[in-house]
Structure formats: structure tokens, C-alpha cells
Amino acid sequence: MTNINQSKIKKATKVFNSVFNKYDIMNDLMSLGIHRLWKQRLIEWMNPRKNDHLIDMASGTGDIARLFLKRVKNQGKVTCVDPNKFMIEKGKIKLGDLNNIRWHLSGAEKLPFKDNTFDIYSVSFGVRNFSNTKMAIKEAHRVLKRGGRFICLEFSKVENEMLDKLYKKYSKTIPILGKYIVGDAEPYDYLIKTINEFYDQNTFKKIIEDSGFSNVGYRNISNGIVAIHSAWKI
Ligand SMILES: C[S@@+](CC[C@H](N)C(=O)[O-])C[C@H]1O[C@@H](n2cnc3c(N)ncnc32)[C@H](O)[C@@H]1O
């Protein structure tokens, strides 16, 4: 029996097939450029060392790979993994100047890598698309070396009630922007739906702990609009 939710996979494929061309520009427009700061915060907390091997799951067009390699001054390796070939193709073009990146077409739930392979596993705005979060986090644990680190940036639950109301109002404008820029509102309805349905900070922390990780913690950024979870395989 497989625990992979095929209809969620189909939906995510359809969504990213229709947005891949305008993915980067839409990120900048939707977040008013703030996603760049959030990703920078991820790298700061990750604090990678030279020669680390990162697996960047749901890599999309490779933003995290680039920031990581900049941080380690190109002395490290990245394995970018994403099930969407169009997102990967975009990434290959965007990061064509970097030669220590390998790209793999795969979902997070079952990875084509041996146990204990990577020093760090990152996932940025990808985990809420996984068809089976628990299965994917267990895979993350399996492919990390002992002493390896899991780090995840994702939309989360806003702490302040007033801000939450404003944020929810703002979210309703995103599909309109999508219609205007990409020509289709539906992928952005899906985006908002997956944000609303995703776990709160503490529930997600518990899932990571239950997958075998230790020292699990999180930091809220922008009042919990996004959170970074960090955990260790010991
Ligand atoms: C919002 S994008 C994030 C891209 C990039 N990490 C970033 O922060 O800009 C989400 C990515 O998740 C990928 N994805 C969808 N389903 C997935 C799955 N089951 N396993 C891994 N990645 C998945 C999509 O193809 C897409 O590239």
C-alpha cells in the first residue's frame, strides 16, 4: 500500500506546470520582495560550513542553492530535487554559472539516495505541497548523515490577530494578481488554500520530532507569516 496522495501530486504538478515561467517574478510581486529576506534568514540560521553537501528539496528554480553556495564561497555541493521538470529546467538556466549543483527529478516522499548521504536537508516553501508530509520528513531523516541538519522555511500561523486579519485580506488579492500576471487565478487559489491548511508551528514541530529528529525548534519571522523549523539527526 502506498501512502502517497496521488490527487495532491496531480494538483501540485498542474499548478507548477502553469506557473513555472513566471514563478520568480510572481514571488517578488506577491511578497513585495520579502521572500528574499526570508530565504536569507534561512541561510543565516543554517550557517553551513565549507564542503557541506546540501540537499535542497522542492528546489524549484534554485534560490536556496545559490544562497548556500554564496555563503560557503562555492566550496560545497548542492543536490537540488524537485518533481517538476519545468521548474528544474528554469533552475538549470538560472544557475548555469554554478557547477557544483546536481539536479534530480523526484518527489520528497521517496528519494533515490542512500541512507546517511547529506550534511543538510533544506526545504523552502515546499513542504506544504508534499503529498505525505510525515513520509517525506522520515525520508529527510534517512538521507541525512548522523549530525546532519533539517531546516525548513514555510508559511505558518500569524501570531497577532489584527495582522492575521489584514494578511488574510491581502491573501485574497493574490489570485487576482495571478490572473493578471500568469493569466490564471486557479494556481494562486491553490497556493492560498495550502497555506491555510498547513500545520501551525507546534504541530509541525511535533511531526518533525515524531520522525526521529532531535533538538527541534522554530523561529517565527514576520510575526509568524513564515516560520523556520530546525532539527538534528543525532
Ligand atoms: C513554491 S515552490 C518553492 C520553490 C523554492 N524552494 C523556493 O523557495 O522558491 C514549491 C516547489 O515544490 C515542488 N513540489 C511539489 N510537490 C512536491 C513533492 N511531492 N515533493 C517535492 N517537491 C514538490 C514544486 O514542483 C515546486 O517547485
Domain assignments of the chain as residue spans, ordered by start: 6-232
Ligand 1: residues with CB < 6 A are 12, 16, 57-60, 63-64, 82-84, 87, 107-108, 124-126, 129-131
* pTM metric for this prediction: 0.95
Longest dimension (CA), the chain: 48
Residues 68 and 85: their CA atoms lie apart, in Å, by 22
Residues 18 and 93: their CA atoms lie apart, in Å, by 18
pLDDT given at position 98:
93
Residues 191 and 114: their CA atoms lie apart, in Å, by 32
Q: What is 6-232's CATH number? A: 3.40.50.150
* Ligand 1 mean position, distance from CA 94 (Å): 16
Which portions of the chain are predicted below pLDDT 50? 1
pLDDT given at position 2:
55
Residues 126 and 103: their CA atoms lie apart, in Å, by 16
Question: What is the residue with the minimal CA distance to atom 13 of ligand 1?
Answer: 58
Question: What is the residue with the minimal CA distance to atom 14 of ligand 1?
Answer: 58
Relative to the CA of 130, which ligand 1 atom is closest?
19
pLDDT given at position 160:
94
pLDDT given at position 79:
98
